[in-house]
Amino acid sequence: MSLRDLLIRVSEVFEPEGKASSDLPGQALLLGVKERQDLPWPQGCTALGYGGQGNASRTPWIGVFDPTINEKPGEGLYLAYIYRSDLRAVTLTLQQGITSLTDTYGKGARLHRYLTAQAEKLRGALHPTLADKWRDELDLLVETKYWRARSYEKANVAARRYELASMPSDEALAEDLKEGVQLLRDAAAADRLLFQVPRSSEPALEYPKHDHGGDDNLGGFQPRSSRGYSVVIKGGTADRRQEHEALLARFALHARACEYEASNRGVHPRDLVLRHRKHPGQDWLVEAKTVLPGREYLAGREAVGQLFEYCHVHYTLRGKPTPHLIALFTHDIGDYADYLETLGIASIWERPDGWGGSSLAADWRLTT
């Protein structure tokens, strides 16, 4: 049975009323997912189906798990094909486990606020180009009394919805699932980097308090999510996007894949310091900047000023070896990268398919 056939078949035979009995065809189909060998789950992933416990679920689902991240739907992060209550649509969603949170947050508004806040933070750490393709709404068409289904809606980090009457091909479903697994792994890494204690094998990112960057026009302002926000500064109000922390988290993971260690523990106000086991005693000093359309030069100027200042204050005056300098950007800065190279500063920017950069960045094997 193909994945497309399975998703359609469940919608045709599932019984949303009554008991969750394995004698019923819909329940049996879902329970059998775990043992099936003919479904195209990505390498290393497992799956299981859920049709309810005791009573049938209004919103049955098929979960897809990466065992290196999580194998329990009640906690952690996982993917799930969750059916709308009318069984006319199914959504592939990157989910946060909810059951383990109910003792702390209950099953109502407090839980929903927590899940929504966490989803916003995780969403901001995903690769922007890929995340933009996964912005479908998860609306399961359920009444308030169905707390679990309502919590699924709030726990959604990223989603692709399919109408059962016009299901895409198996090839398209497989490609979407592959993207979903990448989002799952990125979100899990961000979860550990941003909200939990990092594992010993992962880059250690520790985001500073509200005084990051020293005394400047932002005063005590502290960003709280990856959504757009406004800050009042001398001379007016500027709209900004809090991409800075998310960019650093993604780049730290990339640097780790390139065999660097990434840390900002004890390096404040510097953004990030890279080190490489083959070059003991040598730092790569990273300053990250959000690039506004048409104002690439401003991001470049700011990076130059801060990199040189931090190099002088934290290295030269302390008699430490001069670090290599990296300006990290959310977007390509065009010809300005050539100028930075003349100053000995490498430029690196995020692309839809990876990381671009100047010749220095390529020499340091930090581009893809």
pLDDT digits (tens, 9 = 90+) for 32-83: 999 999 999 999 999 999 999 999 999 999 999 999 899 999 999 999 999 9
Taking the whole predicted model, whether its pTM rises above 0.75 is answered as no
Residue 256's pLDDT is what? 85
Q: Produce one character per residue of 329-341: b if its CB has 16 or more CB atoms within 10 Å, e if not.
A: bbbebeebbeebe
Q: Please name the amino acid found at residue 301.
A: R
Residue 237 forms beta bridges with which residues?
232
Domains of the chain: 3-195 (3.30.920), 228-363 (3.40.1350)
Residue 210's pLDDT is what? 38
The whole-chain average pLDDT of the chain stands at: 85
Residue 240 has pLDDT above 60, yes or no: no
Task: Note whether 341 and 326 are within 8 A (CB).
Answer: no
CA–CA distance, 277 with 343 (Å, rounded to integer): 26
* Mean pLDDT of the region 212-232: 34
Task: Note whether 98 and 152 are within 8 A (CB).
Answer: yes
Residue 188's pLDDT is what? 85
Rounded to whole angstroms, what are the CA distances from 87 to 143, 160, 320, 352? 15, 16, 64, 34
* Mean pLDDT of the region 310-333: 95
Residue 242's pLDDT is what? 56
Closest CA to 244 of 136, 125, 112, 102: 125
